[in-house]
Structure 1
Amino acid sequence: MLNKIANCPDLDLLRRNTCEENDIRVTICDELMENGALRRDLIAILKIDAYYSTSRMPEPPKSIDCLIIIKTGEREFGLTLVELKKAPGSGRARQLKPGRIKPKFDNTIKQFLSGEFAHIFMNSAYTISDFRLWLVTNRTRTIPLKQERKKTGSSGFDAKRWYTFMGKEYEFERIPPDEAWVGTGLA
């Protein structure tokens, strides 16, 4: 899969060395690094919102920030879809709205993974050993999920946290930045 990504001009242009935005980032474990750079034989980070941008299309669909692909075994790969969100310090704007975040994951799964690049990401020659959907946000540091549920009766994301990919359902996760790390031991 990593070779197919490298050989696909549209995807190779999306490769990045980090998954970060607005001081929020996913940490990449040392086992996936060599001399300070990503090991291209084990990991690829694609900047999905660079593909769905106004520079490429007049009205791009919403999309996540990054797709992290990690080789977890022989012809086995873990996929982590990441939306990075730095919540403002105060006020109503600090609330994370599922209606603004869910379409980013929906479009990435339906149009990118299962549509335009299905020949790579849904290829039966590969096994998806792990599939994760992460909203990495500093918002969870401010109000713990338990406290938010106690206050509102739900997290606001509960009813909208399931996604389907390759016939399986996956749960959306909200992750604080200090817990957002990836390594080869995903499965």
Structure 2
Amino acid sequence: MEIQIDTRDFDRVLRPLAGMAGEVDKAIRAALKRTGANMGTNIARQIKEHSFLKSGDIRQALSKPLLTGTAGSLRVEERVASRQLALDRFRLVPRRVTARKRMRSIHWPRAGYQIGPGEPVRYPDGGNGLSKAFVTRLNGRLFLMQRRGRTLERMFGYSVQYFAAFDATSAFVMRAARTMFEQRLRHEVQHRLEKLK
């Protein structure tokens, strides 16, 4: 996710530093750095709000803000990237073992997962040599699994960036970033004017 800044949109904020190109560039860069850090925080909050992912999974997927461009047109980029996560990292339905001993697997209760609030519960039914999904406990933890012949396979699906691409997430983050940038730019301009006194 990135925000691109055209400094002409902020001429009125930068006007007090007119004729001091070096100070203008420093002010813009400092404001963008703070905006980038704030973007990362907002992305993480929005993903947390729209998914049942744990904060640790989200934090690991976020890069440090990357500032690029020239003085006239700078941009700050926050990358969100992860591998596909195990589906049992979301909310299991039901949150208990469904693979019952002394019961044929066709009679086991349905097992599924829900990726976030308001999202439907999905029940993988198998096919292509895979059994329907079931929940089992291994080393004290619950896992969503399928069976392929005699082999157990853990189920994987969504990545963290899937949630970052939600329209609600990107729209919120972009609005907040532009507001934050203008506030920080005002602060940086004022800070530099005070240093010049």
TM range (shorter): under 0.3
If the length of structure 1 is used for normalisation, what is the TM-score?
A: 0.28
Pick the structure with greater CA Rg.
2
Which structure has the highest helix share of the two?
A: 2
If the length of structure 2 is used for normalisation, what is the TM-score?
A: 0.27
Which structure has the highest strand share of the two?
A: 1
